[in-house]
Structure 1
Amino acid sequence: MSKPILYTCARSRGLRATWAAEEAGVDIDLRILPFPPRYLAPEYMAINPLGTVPMLVDGETQLTESCAIAQYLATRGGYTDLAIAPGERDYGEYCDFTYHADATITFPQTVYMRFCLFEKDKGLQEAGLAYAKWFHKRLIKVEQRLATRQYLCADRFTVADICVGYALILAQSVGLDDGVPESLKEYRARLIERPAYRRAYEREEAGRLALKA
């Protein structure tokens, strides 16, 4: 069986997928693209017409959603401890937090980044700051969930932690950390100490630096 190919940009939402692959022990062909790929790597549009990252190609299977890719890699060879199976305790919560990570938490971050970081000259910073407040308010669900536990579901580290954890990592890197509760900063600190996270981050950074060489 050939390796799954993961197209991504370093530090993007694709880090969820790279991280999941490292945690699950899935050997991927990691292909780091310049950002934004639709302009700086136009040949990528022939592979993914959306022009977005990440994208996983595994034989005939193609996925473009970071949380879905993380779940796929965690279960590609059957259920592992990284995923929670139907009938297992916290299965519903696992699904909920995995989807919550992108749809509710990362979404306002991306709007903030667009209006306050990437397109500051368009006069939409006020809207971007409103989405920053939205992001901070939406953290309450994660904060309350983690008030009595180390991980989100089933008393173990899962894909839900990868997906939510990435949003907290992104917050720190784009200037949104002031509104992140201290308890979630501590949670993030535990996550990024994981050896698999360090390997994923270092693999992506090596690819990013290679683009500049």
Structure 2
Amino acid sequence: MTLPILYHCADARSLRCLWAAEEAGLEIDLRVLPFPPRAFAPDYRPVNPLMTVPGWVEDGRLMTESAAICERIAEGTALEVRRDEPDYWDCRNWLHRSDATLTFPLAIMLRYTRVEAPERRLAQAVDDYKAFFGGRAKSIEAALADGRDWLVAGRFTIADIAIGYAAFLATTLGADDVLGEATKAWLVRCITREAFVRARARQKAG
């Protein structure tokens, strides 16, 4: 049996997929690349012409969107919110929000604090997109305001992984001060899970 292959960079959004695989107990062939692959991993281009991570190869098919890969991994596991569950559409909405609304401004911050050469870094862009993220992160706080432990379905699901990664990334960029108190407590619950700890250790091992 050929294992699914995950092309990954440490702590990049492909961490969502590695974390999900660890939670689901899914065996994968992990390939850790230097960041950014477009500059440091030219051999990756035939696999993924976009030169982005994640790259998920399974049965000859390439997937490149972290939330979509998480959906595939969650299928048939307790991470999945099934169509017959009341929170199905809420979960789907969180999955799309995770990248399009929450990770996007953080990616701009990452670019202009770490990726660009020092002379091209833009403090104004960093400040603006941190505020952008903070405004949109209020949706997490609102969802947790009633004291719930997890975002949907009364249990830890793929929504917590997808959104949890965005909140975790904010902490690595010094943007966690814009997160609400309920969000910070939820994030601690997320990142102290054994599967998250294993995923981060595994990416370092290569």
Shared fold per TM-score greater than 0.5: yes
Q: Is the aligned partner of 1:100 residue 2:97?
A: yes
Partner of 2:69: 69
CA distance in 1, matches of 2:194, 2:62: 28
Q: How does 1:1-213 map to 2 (within 5 A)?
A: 1-75=1-75, 79-119=76-116, 120-122=118-120, 124-148=122-146, 149-207=148-206
Amino acid at match of 2:124: E
For residue 87 of structure 1, report the CA deviation from its aligned partner: 2.0
Partner amino acid for 1:156?
A: R
Superposed displacement of residue 100, structure 1 = 0.5
Post-superposition Cα deviations, 1:99-151, rounded to whole Å, max 9, x if no partner, equal 11111000000011112333242253212210110001101111100112111
What TM-score do the two structures reach when normalised by structure 1? 0.92
Deviations 1:12-48 (A, max 9, x none): 1011000000111110000000111111110101110
The 8 Å contact of residues 98 and 163 in structure 1, kept in 2 or not, is answered as yes
Structure 2: tracts of 5 or more residues without a match? none
The alpha carbon displacement at 1:86 in A equals: 1.1
Structure 1 unaligned blocks of 5 or more: 208-213
Aligned partner of 2:42: which letter? P
Instruction: Report percent identity of matched pairs.
Output: 45
**AA of the residue aligned to 2:151:** L
Number of residue equivalences: 204
Contact 1:191-1:197 within 8 A present in 2 as well: yes
SS at match of 1:49: coil
TM-score normalized with structure 2 length: 0.95
**Large movers: runs of 4+ above 3 Å:** none
Amino acid of the structure 2 residue aligned with 1:201: R
Structure-2 change in CA distance of 1:127 and 1:58 (3 Å): same
User: Structure 2 CA distance, aligned partners of 1:21 and 1:123?
Assistant: 35
CA shift, 1:83, in A, is: 0.7
Cα distance between partner residues in 1 of 2:169 and 2:29: 24
Q: Aligned partners of 2:70, 2:201: CA distance in 1, in Å?
A: 18
Does the C-alpha gap of structure 1 residues 123 and 38 become closer, same or farther in structure 2, counting only changes over 3 Å?
A: closer
- Going from structure 1 to structure 2, the CA distance change for 1:196 and 1:41 (only over 3 Å counts) comes to same
State the Cα RMSD in Å: 1.1
Letter in 1 for 2:49: P
Give the Cα–Cα distance (whole angstroms) in 2 for the partners of residues 183 and 88 of structure 1.
25
Distance 2:23 2:108 in 1: 29
- SS of the aligned residue for 1:6 comes to strand
Q: Which residue in the other structure is 1:211 paired with?
A: none
Asked if the contact 2:48/2:62 (under 8 Å) is kept, the reply is no
